Structure 1
Amino acid sequence: MAHPVMFSDDDPGLAELREICLAFPGAEEHVSYGRPTFKCGKIFAAFGGSEKLSPGHHRQVPSALLVKVAESEMQALDDDERFFLPASYGPFGWRALDLDDAAVDWTEVAELVDASYRLIAPKRRIAELDARSQGE
């Protein structure tokens, strides 16, 4: 049974996130479990999720950005109150940031997505990204 769609195209931050994510080489958007995900073979960013507060209790965060985080960056994000451990992805090295905030720093969001993409994407796509940025 398919999951119901749990987002709207006018959700806060989704248009901006799409623009950032779909600019990466080989990036595609797919709906998974009712939420937009961005893939390059594997998921490198997702929109919307929940925070596990305690066993059986979750806080829904419909405008969250979920990204894979390098082990070396994990503690810094865990110490930053803006970030939280997303329920399903968190145990696998992912962190989340709510994009429904007027103070969202889109440069920071782009950097988070870039770092996540580099952890997930095939080497040839990363080389393509690097070549593209050297040509600018």
Structure 2
Amino acid sequence: MAVARDPLARVRKLVAALPETSERLSHGAPTFWGGKRTFASFAANHHGDGRVALWCKLPPGAQEALVEADAELFFVPPYVGPSGWVGIRLDREVDWGVVAGLLEEGWRMVAPRRALEALDARREARARAGARGERTAPAAVRARSPGGRAGRRTGPLR
């Protein structure tokens, strides 16, 4: 684990992997939306607190458990903290897999049903393909090959 040089860029990349998300400025901070509702906000030195952090919407009880488990990394953010949101410090070593999981959890609380179904279907398809040992040729390879195939097939490559 290392401190990210550009934590906002990492957060944006994680959010972009979720269907039907958008980013807008809200109260002067980059804020992330799932459909029409917010699920995360990036805070850099909010009111001079000296932290670079992500505020993330979470289900009841999660905030308390995270802050209790690691108060150096997780905190109760101002304004949205009483609603169960958690602050995640990004100005120190952080496990970005954990950040991705918390972002997804917050997104799942606000995302439209069709977005949830799209993400779940995409993951199920990947899991099925992985279980069968199949690989998918990149679209650029399929497009260059006659008949849309990636050359001579020797296995279940699609």
What TM-score, normalized to structure 2?
0.69
2:62 and 2:84 in contact (8 A); partners too: no
2:55 and 2:88 in contact (8 A); partners too: yes
The structure with the largest strand share of the pair is 1
Moved over 4 A (4+): none
Question: Gaps (5+ residues) in structure 1?
Answer: 1-9, 52-56
1:66 and 1:86 in contact (8 A); partners too: yes
Bigger relative contact order, structure 1 or 2 (CA pairs below 8 A, ≥6 apart): 1
The residue aligned with 1:87 is 78
Change (3 A) 1:87 1:11: farther
Question: Gaps (5+ residues) in structure 2?
Answer: 127-158
Change (3 A) 1:14 1:31: same
Q: 1:48 aligns with which of 37, 43, 51?
A: 43
The residue aligned with 2:63 is 74
SS of 1:71 mapped into structure 2: coil
Q: 2:7 aligns with which of 6, 10, 13?
A: 13
SS of 1:112 mapped into structure 2: helix
1:35 Cα deviation after fit: 0.6
Indicate whether 1:31 and 2:25 are aligned: yes
CA distance in 2, matches of 1:47, 1:89: 13
The structure with the largest helix share of the pair is 2
CA distance in 2, matches of 1:44, 1:11: 23
**Count of paired positions:** 120
1:49 Cα deviation after fit: 6.1
CA distance in 2, matches of 1:68, 1:20: 15
The residue aligned with 2:142 is none
Paired residue type of 1:45: A
The residue aligned with 2:154 is none
1:50 and 1:87 in contact (8 A); partners too: no
SS of 2:23 mapped into structure 1: strand
* Structure whose alpha-carbon radius of gyration is higher: 2
Percent identity over paired residues? 37
Change (3 A) 1:39 1:11: farther
SS of 1:135 mapped into structure 2: helix
**Could you tell which deviates more after superposition, 117-126 or 105-114?**
117-126
2:40 and 2:57 in contact (8 A); partners too: yes
The residue aligned with 1:135 is 125
Once the two structures are superposed, residues 99-127 of structure 1 have per-residue CA deviations (whole angstroms, 9 ceiling, x without a partner) of 111x2111010000010001111222111
RMSD between superposed Cα atoms in Å: 2.1
